[in-house]
Structure 1
Amino acid sequence: MAQFDEARIRENVAEHWNELVELLNQKIALKSISAQGIAGEQMKRSADFVAEQFQKLGVDAKVEQAVTEDGKPGAWEVIGSLVVDENAPTVLLYAHHDVQPVPGPEGWTSEPFVGTVQGDRLYGRGSCDDGGGIIMHVGALQALGKELNVNIKLFIEGEEEMGSPSFIPFIEAHRDEFEADVIIVADSGNWAPEIPSLTTSLRGNATCDVHVRVLKHPVHSGQYGGPILDAVTLASMSIASLYNENGELKVPGIASQEPVGGLQQDVTEESVRKDAGIVDSYKLAGTGSLASRLWTKPSATVIGFDAHPVEGSFNVIAPEATYRLSVRTAPEQDPNEVNAALKAYLESNAPFGAEVEVTPLEAGRGWAMDPTATATKDALEAMREAFDVDPVNMGQGGSIPFIPELQRLFPKAQVLVTGPEDPQSNAHSPNESVSLPGLQKNVVAEALLLAKLGADDAR
């Protein structure tokens, strides 16, 4: 690596570390809850604060308000650039400055919007998701200073926690400001506080409503029960038909996939049971590695069910019922194919010939990392040096819709997904926190990565 070595970067990060922690405390205190209105004044204050931090580092950062697809005022976005050499590669740094709401103090051991250090962790809403990601970018640029050898573009989003309704219109209106050779998305996490990770994949999401009808009107269960099954039972049979005896989806046309880049370390059943709060008697569904079941194989969840409540129920056969099905799709499968497969299967396999109508809803693509890309190799080497341990890459079972959209809009860019979270972070939950030693190493790793990207002769 030209001009910079790991020791120098570590020294620079350590020198400014207390300032970075205080910056994160200030960000937590802003209460930038996008659920209270993406165009709200609280979001404008947050965007202005973030832009100011990058301006101090020489980035030409500014705040712009996006417009949603229906023309309404959208999120307050931070964009910017810093050109050091027109011939150098360009790196887009992404994070988001909005945070999840806090419905109440239940479960919190500290004030949610006051950064509080307990042990080696900093607690507060947005400490890891995604204030920690912003700190990674700020700290890395600060550590490199005038020795920065790549051009920087910046996008700090203001509505990620709300599903990014302004995202596509904003990018399409600012396409030149997003063009980059490498995109670093600092909104994911690590295997453990002391073990770094690149995120190798994200599952997509396909959602549909399934309406089951057996009668034109309710009838008495004593008079007609037996030959006529109620719609709730038939809907339950419809759901059960999706699975084989191992609890795996058996719908033709829904693909499965193994971990992208190979499995370095499997997830333990003990950790899954503990983190999810699984009852002792439950046997985990599926076959193969737990990592593949959590990250890359498809899964279906009934996220809503319309039926008569228990309270006030009476002896009639329910004529109809509706359930909403959410399927996490394999990273590289088109989710529209999944919705089409669900519609074909469920409508042609209606239990006892009931009327079944499937209405496709949302379809968000998944994403898979390119394990052979130069940027991927640089990132893994930077993490290894910063943490002094081999990275353990991992997929994510959830979906981050803007990442595949970025890849679609900028197909030549190498996308890296990093972040400050770890299994103890409780993002979106009470007692959200970030490991301070882990975050410091993440800052070092990103600075090393930027230096490496600038030193690469060929890409």
Structure 2
Amino acid sequence: MAEQAEQSDGTAAREEALRTEVAGQFDRTMDDLARLVRIPSVSWPAFDPEHVTASAEAIAGLLRETGIFDVVDIRRAPVAGAEGSDDPELGHPAVVARREPRSGRPTVLLYAHHDVQPPGKDADWDTPPFEPTLRGGRLYGRGAADDKAGVMAHLGAVRALAATAQAEGRELDLGIALFIEGEEEWASQSFGNFLRENRDLLAADAIIVADSGNWDAQTPALTVALRGAVAFNLRVDTLAHASHSGMFGGAVPDAMLATVRLLDTLWDADGAVAVEGLRSVELPSPEYDEDRLRQEAGLLDGVSPIGRGEILSRIWAQPAISITGIDAPDVANASNTLIPSARVRVSARIAPGQEPEEAFDAIKAHLLARAPFGARLTFEDEGLGQAFLVDTSGWAVAEVRAAMADAWEREPIDMGVGGSIPFIAELVEEFPGAQILVTGVEDPDGRAHSPNESLHVESFRKSVLTEALFLSRLDGRGQ
């Protein structure tokens, strides 16, 4: 009994020291985050790839400064389909690091990504997108939340853990690996090859994917369900060439007419998906009303929500289809012409439990069966991503929930996310014995991917503390 009490007192003292370290280093953590946000590391092909390289180099430098890793490196791998080529196309640079476990402790792999979405038009931002700006308790800037804050949550936690151990005059026993990807926003095209080429470096007992969010700015959350993704370009052709709309309009179906009529069949009168073969799943969900939906989504007054059932069921557990782009003459260049061809980008989210190949086949069959006026359909550039359901029965889930509750002083919520993180399926395939924990620093007001993306600073601090407590407890696991 006396030994147990001594261990308990030692753990409490260590965690109090850890809290002090997180707080004491937080200004430095924020400064380093701001430095990373200033690097416009957009991974899309139209942007300068040297910025992604600069971002990787900056992060590698920060990891080397900790002095606790056996390996810190910047690596690239061939994109999918380029394997075996004499001169394969390589993905963007990722940062990897590892320290081996000691004394029988587990290893934790910490994942985040350092590439960002394009900023869009500067005029849509209240402040310059790559000039981090602190206002009203939030840090504004592209990547401030998604996902350079995820990178710095890992780094801030590791720094605090290392400093606490050093103050106690001891070595860390916990194994820690990091994988900071450089192309998550451009479909993670080299992800599978990267895992295979670096398997020994990244192997772990638990994996934290810090690319999700929390329930709100005051309540932590563990993401336990993610929808899958199906996206493709649909081309609709009705004419061999453009024709005068006055001479032939009313007798000849133009491509835009056919496209509008065809796309409308994807939804029913309530706006729910009307494609046979797309399935839903039953998932428990917290209370979430229409007022909150309106506030978080920016739904205009007088515009009604779509779909049926509980709102969170529609977002987490039911399919959704959106048209995210249209190629056709713009209004400025419109002429009195029947358009011979139109192209749209179809983006679908599918419920956990459905295979994306099955969902794509269902959508394709639906469209082919309903092509109006005999319009010719072509399907191009499909992208498929697996849905994911977390096994919440493992020790790692229990540990991270407890760390969240202690850091936030509020019990965490298990939540689903309507978005997708398709590469998690590849992590599961490569490391089938590892427990996957999907966490993050975003909140409903963060506007990731949108103008005026921002990070709630106090939530970020609590997220850093959560991870530090989690790592510390695993470092002491089995003592």
TM-score, normalising length: structure 2:
0.85
Deviation at 1:317, TM superposition (A): 5.3
- More moved, 63-72 vs 285-294: 63-72
The reply on whether 1:133 has 2:150 as its aligned counterpart is yes
Counterpart in the other structure of 1:279: 300
Stretch deviating more after TM superposition (182-191 or 270-279): 270-279
Match of 1:345, as an amino acid? H
Letter in structure 2 aligned against 1:206: V
* 1:420 maps to which of 441, 445, 448: 441
**Pair 1:353–1:162, CA change in 2 (3 A):** closer
Question: What are the Cα deviations for residues 337-385 of structure 1, in whole angstroms up to 9, with x where unaligned?
Answer: 1111122222223335554454571112122222222212221111111
1:381-396 pair list within 5 angstroms: 381-396=402-417
Partner amino acid for 1:374?
W
Residue identity in the other structure for 2:348: V
Determine which of 93, 114, 117 is the counterpart of 1:97: 114
Alignment pair present for 1:256 and 2:280: yes
2:78 to 55, 68, 72: 68
Paired residue for 1:106? 123
Q: Which of these residues, 172, 185, 188, is aligned with residue 209 of structure 2?
A: 185
1:232 is matched with which residue?
Answer: 256
The residue aligned with 2:85 is none
Amino acid aligned to 1:64: I
Say which SS state the counterpart of residue 67 (structure 1) adopts: coil
- Count matched residues: 455
Say which SS state the counterpart of residue 359 (structure 2) adopts.
helix
Deviation (angstroms), 1:116: 3.3
Task: Tell me the TM-score normalized by structure 1.
Answer: 0.88
Once the two structures are superposed, residues 36-66 of structure 1 have per-residue CA deviations (whole angstroms, 9 ceiling, x without a partner) of: 7888443333223212322233123423231
Output aligned runs, 1:155-194, within 5 Å.
155-194=179-218
Give 1:350's aligned residue: 371
Does the CA contact (< 8 Å) of 2:153 and 2:460 recur in 1?
yes
Residue 55, structure 1, aligned to residue 64, structure 2: yes
Deviation at 1:143, TM superposition (A): 2.4
Deviation per CA, 1:218-272, whole angstroms, max 9, x where unpaired?
Answer: 667667665654443333222222222322112221111233xx21232x32233
Question: 1:25 aligned to 2:34?
Answer: yes
Kindly state the Cα deviation for residue 155 of structure 1 after the two structures are TM-superposed: 0.9
Residue 161 of structure 1 deviates from its aligned partner by 2.5
Instruction: For structure 2, list consecutive stretches of 5 or more residues without a partner in the other structure.
Output: 1-6, 83-87
Aligned twin of 1:265:
287
**How much does 1:9 deviate?**
2.4
What CA distance in whole angstroms lies between the structure 2 residues aligned with 1:244 and 1:320?
A: 26
Instruction: Give the C-alpha shift of residue 214 in structure 1.
Output: 4.7
State yes or no: 1:448 paired with 2:469: yes
Q: Deviations over 1:151-182 (max 9, x none)?
A: 11111112223322232222221111121111
CA distance in 1, matches of 2:433, 2:21: 33
Determine the C-alpha separation between the residues in 1 that align with 2:451 and 2:328.
Answer: 31
Q: CA RMSD in A?
A: 3.0
- Cα deviation for residue 408 of structure 1 reads 2.4
* Percentage identity across paired residues of the two chains: 38
Would you say the 8 A contact 1:254–1:341 is kept in 2?
Answer: yes
d(CA) in 2 for partners of 1:212 and 1:52? 50
Deviates more, 1:415-424 or 1:162-171: 162-171
For structure 1, the residue ranges without an aligned partner over 5 or more in a row are none
Q: How does 1:299-448 map to 2 (within 5 A)?
A: 299-309=320-330, 318=339, 320-351=341-372, 353-359=374-380, 361-448=382-469
